[in-house]
Every structure is written in C-alpha cells, then in structure tokens.
Chains A and B, each alone.
Chain A
Amino acid sequence: MSASAATIEGGRARGVGASAWARRNLWTIGLLGLLVLLIVFTKLIQPSYGAGGVQSLAIAVLPLGFAAVAQAIVVIAGGIDLSVGSMMALTSVITATLMQGQSDVFGVGVVIGVMLLGLLLGAINGGLVVLTRVPDIIVTLAMLFVWAGFALIVRAAPGGQASPWLMTIVNGKFFSEWVPKAGLVLLIVVAVVWIPLSRSKIGLSIYAIGSNQLAAFRSGIAIGPTKVIAYAFAGLFAAIGGLSLTASTGIGTPVPGPYTLESVAAVVLGGVSLAGGRGGVFGPIVAVVTLQLIQTDMTFLNVNSNLAIVAQGVILIGVLVLGSVLEMRRERA
C-alpha cells in the first residue's frame, strides 16, 4: 500500500516550507485532485448541477463523514472498530427518543449527554480490547452485536423526534447557497476536536502505538490508556455521527446503516494505513465526499443505481492496487 505517501499529521517535526507540507500530505492532495476532476465531470454531464446539488451532497456525506473520522482515529492507533455503525444507531435512537416532546433546553442536555455516552461506549470497547487482549477486530465485532441489541431495546422501530433546533443546525445553507450547513458542521466539529488532539501529547501517543507498539512502550507511553482514549474518541465521533443522523432525518433508526464497512473503505481510500500509525482524518473525509459524488454522477448518467455499488467496490480495489503498484516500483527503483 502506498501508505508511505500518506499524510502524517500531528506534532511531528515541521518540515520547512510548502514543499515539505505537500510531501507529507501527498495522498490527500492527490485525492483532492481526483475530487476536483470529478466535480468538473459532474458539471459537464449535468450543467444544472449547482447549489442544490452541493446541499444534498453535504447532507448525505455528514453521517458517513463522522463515521470515517471515528474509524480513522482507531485505525491510526493500530486497531479497527467494527461497532461504529451500531454505536451510531444506538446514539441516534437515544437522541430521538429523549428529545421527543421536550423543550429546547432539555434537548441541549440530551446532545451533551449523548456525546458523553459516546465517549463511554468507545472507552468500553477500548477497555475490553486492552483487558482481554483479544484482537481488536473480534472484540468490536462482538460489541457490534451488543450496541445494536441495545439500540433495538431502546426502540424497536424507527421513530422519536429530533428537536427542531437540532435539525436546523445541519439542514439548509449558511449565508451563501453554496455553503451547506452540514458541510460546515462536519469541518468545524472535526477541526475543533481533531486539530488540538493531534497536536497534543495524547495525539502523538496514538500515532506512536499504532506505528510501533514496542517502541512506543519503550519510549514510556502507556499503551493501554492510550488505546482506550483512541477508542473513546472514536466513540465520541460515532455519537456525533448518530446525532447527525437524527438531525438530518428527524427520527432515530435502531438498525445500523452500512456505516461500519463504508467507514473502513473510506479510511483506507483516505490514506490511512490499516497497519496503523499513518494518515489523518481529513483524507478519509475527502474520500467520503468523492465516493458520494460518484454515486450522484451515476444517477445523472442514468446508470443502473446498483452499478454504483459495483463502482464503489471497483474504485476501492483499483485505487489500492494502483497505490500498491506505485509502492512496488519505488521499492525496486
């Protein structure tokens, strides 16, 4: 995999000037280039694509964007979280159920409470991984059943009601028609949490344990607590993803969407190495937007909508094969 070309963010030695920055973010920049090409292509095949299209794109991207960020943090720490989708379903139904018929103030309390709950759910996942020493993929696979079960216990069928103010946060535009609120929310929330985190000692530790656990241990990093923190942040972002699901649909749905596996796909496309220690969270977000836009384009082209999912699979495989071929060339050179 071309992970060595991937971005390495965080408190690393700052390279000098723009070229060093570009080299570190090569993968994300390449992905952005692909996205720009795709936007041009979209405009060509559908000249009327404009502000309205951007709006619906942003709304569609929002939950998966948060899911991808959640997944990225855990994968950077050298793990994987298969329970992201279930945590989103659980937090979404809790939000919609508690907010139903309540005042705005109570709704604010619910939002804060659900975010704390997300931290707790994630910490439980991480704690189990650390305590049981069972591989991450197995523990979170089992927790997928647990959180999804709880979601169904809270509410057996889709329902509930989101507070009106929560829905206005993500639906609609911000001043210009071209700036959808959903996009702003995604960027601001991720930036507010991720940038300070990745520049902090904890962020560096997360990269360190993902990169080389033994070396991290020898450098005095507490592996267990760091891993729990990484999972807790993943839980937080999954909870925010659940909130955004409720905010954009107005209700809570107990059955997890396809977010878990799609988030893994987005993370890898976004330049995060599954081996851990490499990548950032903005690459995955660009990957999510790209995947969503491809789906939109296929509807414009009147392609059978089922082929969209085929295209997604082919792109996922194709990009990674390309990355791997480039990597092998470099090794031989």
Chain B
Amino acid sequence: MSAIADTSHWRSTGAWRTLFRDQPTVPLVGLLALLVVAIEIAEPGIVGPAWVGVIVRAAIPLAILAGCQTLTMLTGGIDLSVAAIGSMAGFVTATLIHSPGGAVQGVVVVLIVAALAGAVTGVGVGVFRVHPLIMTLGMSFVVLGLSNVWQLQTVQTGAGVPPQLRTLGSGGFLEVFPYSLVVFVPLTLLILFGLRRTGYGRLLYAIGDNPIAARLSGARSWQVLVVLYVISAVLAAIAGLLVSGLSNTASVSLVDGYLLSSVAAAVIGGTSIFGGRGGFGGTIVGSLILTVLNALLIVVGLPEPSRQVVFGGIIVIVAAAYTRVTAES
C-alpha cells in the first residue's frame, strides 16, 4: 500500500484496517446483508425462510467446491480438476444405480476414484513439483476423457440420479432446512477445526506462506500436498453428488459451470491465491455472496448475458476493494 501522508487519517482508518485484515469475514457479512436488503427492495416480500432455504441449498455445493480452492490456495496452489471430478462423481453414481450395491456402491466407487485422481495430482504437485495449475488442468482432461469413455460403455444400461441423492440435494425439512446441510455442516466443522486446531492445518499455512522455511522446519511438504489433493478431490466428488441431486441430472460436464465461481468465491472470501492467508469461514460467506448476487441479478430481470457482465464486474470490484483494505501498509 502506498505511504499515507496524513497521519490523522491513518489513525482513524487504521483500526478499521486492522479489523478487516484480522477478521475478513466482517466486511463480507456486511456486503452479504447489503445484497439481501437490495433483493428485498427489488422484490418486496421475497426474503423469507423458504427463500433462505433455496439460497442455502444452491450455495452449499459452491461452498464445498470453493473449499477445495481455499485449501489448495493456502499452499499457493489451485485445483482446476474439481469440476471434472465432481461431474464424474455425479455421473458415475447415476450409471451405477442398477448395480447390485445400488446407490451406496456408486457413491463408494466414485469417492475411491476421486481419491485416486487426487493422489496422482498430489504426487505430481508434491513430488515432481509440477505447477498445480497445470497438474490439475491435465488431471481434469484425464478425468473428463475417462468419464466420456465410461459414458459410451454404459450407454445401454439405464441411468438416473438415485432418489436418495435427489432428496439429499434438493429436499428440505419444512422447506427451510435443506437436507444437504446434513452433509455440509459436519464437513465445515471438520475443515474449520482441521485448519485452526490441527498440525496438518498449520502445515498448509506454513507451506503456502514460505515453502523453504516450512521445509527447513522439518515439514515434509510432499506428504502434506498428496493428502491435500486427495482431500480436495474427495470434497469435489461430494459436491458433485450434491449438484446432481440438486439438479436431478447427471452428465460429464454437470459441474463445469461451478469451476470459475468456486475460485471467485474463495478469493472474495479473503483467501490469498499466493498462499498462507485465508480460511474456510470467509469462503462460505463468499459463496453465499455469489449465490445471492446471482439471485439478485435474476430478480432485477437482467437477461443472462448482461448478468454475466455485471457478475464479472462485481468480482473485480469486490476483489479490488478487498485488496485495498487488507493490503499490508
């Protein structure tokens, strides 16, 4: 940040800056509240328990995928394979619906496949030091291609999203509490606890902040990274299952639309793409912001193309404002 000449000005804004830097979720929750107020003004009466349920249900898969980005970004990486892995998970589960084990077998199979894909990615990034962007991009090609091959193999047998997944993804208790919270809340607690209270979580921050210092302090970064990309792939598969349940469709490109939003949600949530800074709490708020923003743009009646333009513009503005506020002065 540029030097601030006027010291009195610095004193008045300094406290705010410190607050925002240390508690990045505070301004984000403010922004979220602002968006909710805006949508209520745009269409009075829309905000209610049912509406909140719809928003939360739509935001959950995005938040999980953004969680993959958050975890990998903490180490200075990124995971572009989440969309391919998520789509694969939803799709393969749907094709296995008539198998002896039913939906349960399908879910177990896709979680194992996802973990394998994540392990390969992790070895590439951790052991062979391939740039994460490229490694996960290559992995997404591999997974997408193999899903397509699988699609041709199973085109004869019937396929459909298992009813259990449909209930989990799109159902809700009293139309207010989406059932997907049953998956999301434990995952969130696990990630938050893991990042804040476990040695593994601290290692992720350490590697992202200063890989050399982390190595000199005895961290075996390749092991940390292999585990990290396995976690990320499994989370992506879970999110993919929820998306297929939410939309009641399964295709090899189902989750593709979420990929870039997941990166955006993590960044808006205050996770630094350079590593070492951020957390999952902000990411959840970031996902809610993007979901509400999208709902607002629909309520206002903008057609799809203009919505994209405004969406992109707002991502830049929020990210810029964020960088200004939290920049080290």
Chain A residues with a Cβ under 8 A of chain B = 1, 80, 82, 128, 131-135, 137-139, 141-146, 148-153, 156, 261, 264-265, 268, 274, 304, 306-314, 316-317, 320-321, 324-325, 328
A134 and B319 alpha carbons, distance in the complex (Å): 7
A316 and B137 alpha carbons, distance in the complex (Å): 9
A186 and B23 alpha carbons, distance in the complex (Å): 51
For the complex of A and B, the 5 pairs showing the least CB-CB separation, nearest first, are A313-B141, A145-B312, A149-B308, A310-B145, A152-B305
Cβ-defined contact, A139 with B316, below 8 A: yes
A1 and B132 alpha carbons, distance in the complex (Å): 12
Chain B residues with a Cβ under 8 A of chain A = 78, 80, 124, 128-131, 133-135, 137-142, 144-146, 148-149, 151-152, 260, 263-264, 267, 273-274, 304-313, 315-316, 319-320, 323-324, 327
Task: Report the minimum CB–CB distance from A124 to chain B (whole Å).
Answer: 10
A1 and B125 alpha carbons, distance in the complex (Å): 11
| Further contacts, 20 of them, CB under 8 A, given A128-B316, A144-B260, A145-B312 | A132-B316, A132-B323, A135-B274, A137-B273, A138-B264, A138-B316, A145-B260, A150-B309, A151-B305, A153-B309, A156-B305, A264-B134, A265-B134, A265-B137, A265-B138, A268-B131, A274-B131, A304-B149, A306-B148, A313-B142
Contact A149 B133, CB 8 Å, known A141-B260, A324-B128: no
| Residues on the A chain within 8 Å of B129, using CB | 1, 324, 328
Cβ-defined contact, B313 with A304, below 8 A: no
A321 and B127 alpha carbons, distance in the complex (Å): 9
| Residues on the B chain within 8 Å of A309, using CB | 141-142, 144-145, 148
Contact A274 B134, CB 8 Å, known A134-B323, A309-B141: yes
| Residues on the A chain within 8 Å of B130, using CB | 1, 317, 320-321, 324
Cβ-defined contact, B323 with A145, below 8 A: no
| Residues on the B chain within 8 Å of A82, using CB | 260
Cβ-defined contact, B309 with A314, below 8 A: no
| Residues on the A chain within 8 Å of B324, using CB | 133
| Residues on the A chain within 8 Å of B323, using CB | 132-134
A146 and B260 alpha carbons, distance in the complex (Å): 13
Cβ-defined contact, A313 with B319, below 8 A: no
Most chain B CB within 10 A, of A149, A264, A316, is at A149
| Residues on the A chain within 8 Å of B149, using CB | 304, 306-307, 310
| Residues on the B chain within 8 Å of A324, using CB | 128-130
Interface residue from B78, B128, B145, B306 paired with A321 (Cβ < 8 Å): B128
A128 and B312 alpha carbons, distance in the complex (Å): 12
| Residues on the B chain within 8 Å of A138, using CB | 263-264, 267, 273, 315-316, 319
Task: Report the minimum CB–CB distance from B255 to chain A (whole Å).
Answer: 15
Q: Which residue in chain B gives the minimum CB-CB distance to A83?
A: B312
Cβ-defined contact, A317 with B313, below 8 A: no
| Residues on the A chain within 8 Å of B273, using CB | 135, 137-138
Q: Which residue in chain B gives the minimum CB-CB distance to A146?
A: B312
Cβ-defined contact, B140 with A268, below 8 A: no
A142 and B319 alpha carbons, distance in the complex (Å): 10
Task: Report the minimum CB–CB distance from B139 to chain A (whole Å).
Answer: 7
Cβ-defined contact, B131 with A142, below 8 A: no
List 24 A-B residue pairs with CB atoms under 8 Å apart, sorted by A's residue number.
A132-B316, A132-B319, A132-B320, A134-B320, A138-B273, A138-B315, A139-B319, A141-B260, A142-B319, A143-B316, A148-B308, A149-B306, A152-B305, A268-B134, A274-B133, A306-B146, A306-B149, A310-B141, A310-B149, A313-B142, A320-B124, A320-B138, A321-B124, A324-B129
Task: Report the minimum CB–CB distance from A258 to chain B (whole Å).
Answer: 10
Q: Which residue in chain B gives the minimum CB-CB distance to A306?
A: B148
| Residues on the A chain within 8 Å of B134, using CB | 264-265, 268, 274, 316-317, 320
Cβ-defined contact, A1 with B131, below 8 A: yes
| Residues on the A chain within 8 Å of B263, using CB | 137-138, 141
Cβ-defined contact, A261 with B145, below 8 A: no
Q: Which residue in chain B gives the minimum CB-CB distance to A318?
A: B138
A1 and B128 alpha carbons, distance in the complex (Å): 9
Cβ-defined contact, B141 with A312, below 8 A: yes
A147 and B145 alpha carbons, distance in the complex (Å): 28
| Residues on the A chain within 8 Å of B310, using CB | 149
| Residues on the B chain within 8 Å of A131, using CB | 320
| Residues on the A chain within 8 Å of B142, using CB | 309-310, 313-314, 317
Q: Which residue in chain B gives the minimum CB-CB distance to A274?
A: B131
| Residues on the B chain within 8 Å of A310, using CB | 141-142, 145-146, 149
Interface residue from B139, B145, B304 paired with A308 (Cβ < 8 Å): B145
Cβ-defined contact, A144 with B320, below 8 A: no
A137 and B273 alpha carbons, distance in the complex (Å): 9
A27 and B138 alpha carbons, distance in the complex (Å): 20
| Residues on the B chain within 8 Å of A152, using CB | 304-305, 308
| Residues on the B chain within 8 Å of A274, using CB | 131, 133-134
Q: Which residue in chain B gives the minimum CB-CB distance to A153?
A: B305
| Residues on the A chain within 8 Å of B152, using CB | 304, 306
Q: Which residue in chain A gives the minimum CB-CB distance to B316?
A: A142
